[in-house]
Amino acid sequence: MKMTFAKRCLAVAAAGLLSSGVVMAQDKAQSLEQLLNMVKQSKVAESAEHKKREAEFRRQKSEQQSLLNQAKQTKLNEEKRSEALEAKYSQQELDVTAKRKQLQERLGSLKELFGHLTSTAGDLRNNLSTSIVSAQYPGRAAFLDTLIDKMNSATQLPTIEEIERLWFEIQRETIEGGKTVVFSGTVIKPDGEQATQDVVRIGNFQLLSDGRYLEFVPQGEKMAELTRQPAGSLLSAASELQSSTDGFTRVGIDPTGPTGGSYLSALINSPSIVERWHQGGLVGYIITAVGAFAMLLAIWRFIVLAGISSKVNAQLKSTTANTNNPLGRVLKVAEDNKGLDGESLELKLEEATLKERPAIESGLNLLKIISMVAPLLGLLGTVTGMIITFQAITIFGAGDPKAMAGGISGALVTTVLGLVVAIPTVLMHTLVNGRAKRVLHILDEQSAGIIAENAERK
């Protein structure tokens, strides 16, 4: 029993030491008495540590109370300061109102003057932002913002120098608008490269450089070479102006230059004839090919019929039948059948005339068909283009009237091509058909004359 109780006490003590964490791994109890001493020492150490923590908690509590008292005092001081500032703000607001009233009274007529100056400065700022004179004199409008702010401010007044500069810029814009000058500037090429070169400024209307037309970009006051240039005659005139030293030189300018140069941009952006032709697409190419074939056929038949007419006219003047022309071959039939009766000879001559007719009228029906089919092909291309345009409107909407108008314009190109082919084809058909009918009329006339002579002899 004693041994069992001792083991239990040892187990409890070991558990207490392990739970407190103060027993070191190298300290090993040699007896129960030593173990009890070690447990006692651990409790004493824990009690001292707890007392130390309680003292620290009490000290921190007293400090927190002190901080709380300080915060309350600071709050009270700030509330008093806020009341003082509010009172001061109210008084200063009254003072500012009084000063503003005094300022308005002392301004008098200057207030009306500042109103006119503000309006003038605003108009000048808008003009300078689009004026191509700013390409030569950049940064002219920067001071206008400051001037307008000062004239609208209740605490600042513009200086005499600033007002005089406003007058100076108005006069300079007017004077420079009537000059043609050359200056050096940076030009942006169509490929994005920048080059410093001489620029010709024609008043406030046009910028030219190296025989090319430039546009003024208000954002950044830059000059850029137009991607699409006007016709070659205008470019040659621009080069001539840049190389001239005095006298008068004819050159094309944009009359809307002072307002942004919209006319020149619209003019050069209009599609050329070749570009319009390409807008016709596949149907347009087919119409063009058909029209070219019709023209070649008409010219060829006209040349052939002209040769036939010449030979027929020569045959009319000859007394002997020549088989190198239709009339000669018909007369040859009459000579070979002189002994036949009138009806038989008439049938022989009609047969000879009918044999000559296909060669004379060759190609006429084809020309007639082309003249009728060409407008139908144009209508087909137009309908197809309109279908494509309306499909695009269905997908992307009609928010851009310019794009919609461009699609409709491209669709109508095939109708124009069809009419361009049909009209000259009809004229050529009429001309060639007239030549053919004249030859056939001579054949019929000569045949009738031969039959009449044969009847008279009998």
DSSP H helices in 152-197: 160-176
For the chain, helix (H) and strand (E) counts, in that order, are 13, 5
Based on the fold, state whether residues 450 and 310 are members of the same structural domain: yes
Question: Does residue 89 fall inside a structural domain?
Answer: no
> Of 382, 378, 411, which is closest to residue 290 (Cα–Cα)?
378
Look up residue 256 and give its two tokens.
């809307």
Kindly state whether residues 381 and 239 are assigned to the same domain.
no
Residue type, 378: G
Question: Is position 9 within any domain?
Answer: yes
Six-digit token string for 224 = 């850029």
pLDDT of residue 424: 94
Residues 303 and 262 in one domain: no
Could you tell me the pLDDT band of residue 59, with boundaries at 50, 70 and 90?
confident
Residue 19 binned pLDDT confidence (cut-offs 50, 70, 90)? very low
Residues 72 and 114 in one domain: no
The answer on 146 and 38 residing in a single domain is no
Identify the pLDDT of residue 438: 92
Q: What letter would DSSP give residue 202?
A: E
Q: Is residue 307 part of a domain?
A: yes
Q: Does 174 score more than 70 pLDDT?
A: yes
Q: 21: alpha, beta or left, given left = phi > 0 and alpha = psi -120 to 50?
A: left
Based on C-alpha coordinates, what's the Rg of the chain? 54
Nearest CA-CA partner of 134 in 74, 75, 55, 220: 220
Q: What is the pLDDT of residue 12?
A: 42
> How does strand 222-225 pair with strand 180-188?
parallel
The first and second tokens of residue 133, run together, are 């004179």
Cα distance between residue 133 and residue 25, in whole Å: 96
Asked whether residue 443 is domain-assigned, the answer is yes
**pLDDT value of position 18:** 40
Question: What Cα–Cα distance (Å) separates residue 267 from each residue in 254, 410, 428?
Answer: 10, 17, 35
On average, the pLDDT of the chain sits at 82
Biggest alpha carbon–alpha carbon distance for the chain: 183
Domain boundary among 243, 268, 293: 268
Q: Are residues 317 and 422 in the same domain?
A: yes
Instruction: Please tell me whether residues 316 and 413 are part of one structural domain.
Output: yes
Most confident of 61-70, 159-168, 227-236: 159-168
Quick check: helix, strand or coil at residue 400?
Answer: coil
109-130 vs 142-151: helix crossing angle, rounded to 10: 160
The domain boundary residue, chosen from 215, 247, 268: 268
- The Cα–Cα gap between 411 and 386 comes to 6
Same domain assignment for residues 288 and 340: yes
**Of 77, 98, 127, which residue is a domain's last?**
77
Domain membership flag for residue 88: no
Task: For residue 135, give the DSSP letter.
Answer: G
pLDDT at 365: 92
Per the structure, the count of domains in the chain is: 4
Kindly indicate the confidence band of residue 9, based on its pLDDT and cuts at 50, 70 and 90.
very low
pLDDT of 85-123, one tens digit each? 999 999 888 888 887 777 667 666 677 777 888 889 999
- Looking at the structure, tell me whether residues 255 and 116 fall in a common domain: no
DSSP 134: G
Would 86 be classed as within a structural domain? no
Asked if the model's pLDDT at residue 150 lies above 60, the reply is yes
Domain assignment present for residue 290? The answer is yes
Mark whether 320 and 441 lie in a shared domain. Answer: yes
Collapse the DSSP code of 458 into the 3-class scheme (helix H, G, I; strand E, B; otherwise coil) and give the result. Answer: coil
Q: Is 41 left (phi over 0), alpha (psi -120 to 50) or beta?
A: alpha
Q: Are 284 and 277 in contact (CB under 8 A)?
A: yes
Tokens representing residue 34 in the block: 């030593």
Structural domain containing residue 262: 182-268
Q: Do 298 and 191 share a structural domain? A: no
377 vs 219: CA distance, rounded Å: 48
Other CB atoms within 10 A of residue 372 CB: 11
Residue 120, in any domain of the structure: yes
The answer to whether residue 375 scores a pLDDT higher than 80 is: yes
The verdict on 202 and 134 lying in the same domain is: no
Nearest-CA neighbor of 258 among 207, 199, 193?
Answer: 207
